Chains A and B, each alone.
Chain A
Amino acid sequence: AQSVTQLDSQVPVFEEAPVELRCNYSSSVSVYLFWYVQYPNQGLQLLLKYLSGSTLVKGINGFEAEFNKSQTSFHLRKPSVHISDTAEYFCAVSDSPGNYGGSQGNLIFGKGTKLSVKP
């Protein structure tokens, strides 16, 4: 079974500093990977996704992530954070890519990383 590990439950950082949120996954097959963001009192919003091709994926709000197959990682980065980036971030992997139907292609989420940006 696939799983996702987010290595840090909380990441405090000062405004304009760079940040990296770490995500590792376990899978024996090809995977699709996602990062979602949840702002306070809101649902989840897709930041970016990796399906195939270039291992560096750019998303919204200046975030990017790099897929590393040998290290089974998909870390999220931003070179300079803002107060408004304070949120919880979830890494997710699509389970059992395969034929269409049933549970194929459902998402398995990590436990989340709370990013706190301080002035």
Chain B
Amino acid sequence: DVKVTQSSRYLVKRTGEKVFLECVQDMDHENMFWYRQDPGLGLRLIYFSYDVKMKEKGDIPEGYSVSREKKERFSLILESASTNQTSMYLCASSFPSFTSGSTYNEQFFGPGTRLTVL
């Protein structure tokens, strides 16, 4: 089974702190994703990476950065945490699959990190 792990289930930080959220996958997947999940807003894509040292902005990248030094690990960084970044953060990985000449990503999710910024 594919396993995606996240370093913490619950995290409490103070405003202005630098925060690292770590995600590791064990299936040699090329693609990795960071989402935040808020009530009534669903999942919103922050950043994704389709290769080591590659990254692309998602829909809401402001206030975040990412690092992918190794294929299995994708880190989300909050340079200076703010209260509006209190949220559930979900990491996912995927491999590109092909059907009928097109690409889709079947994503596998970690358990999530519930971050509270005070």
Contacts and interface: CB of A to CB of B under 8 A. Distances in A.
Interface string B48-69: 1010000010000000000000
A98 B9 CA distance: 36
Q: Is the interface of B mostly helix, strand, loop or mixed?
A: strand
B4 interface: yes
B56 A9 contact: no
Given A43-B111, A44-B90, A106 B42 contact: no
A42 B110 CA distance: 8
B84 interface: no
A17 interface: no
Given A43-B4, A43-B90, A43-B112, A90 B104 contact: no
Contacts of A105: 96, 102-105
A43 B56 CA distance: 23
B42 A94 contact: no
Contacts of A94: 104-105
A97 B98 CA distance: 10
B8 interface: no
Interface residues of A, number: 31
A83 interface: no
A109 B92 CA distance: 13
A103 B48 CA distance: 9
A119 interface: no
Q: Which 10 A-B pairs have the closest CB atoms?
A: A97-B102, A43-B109, A111-B42, A105-B103, A44-B109, A94-B104, A109-B43, A32-B104, A105-B105, A105-B104
Given A36-B109, A100-B103, A104-B103, 9 more contacts: A32-B99, A43-B90, A46-B106, A90-B42, A90-B43, A99-B103, A103-B48, A107-B107, A112-B42
Interface of B: 4, 9, 33, 40-43, 45, 48, 50, 56, 90, 92, 96, 98-100, 102-112
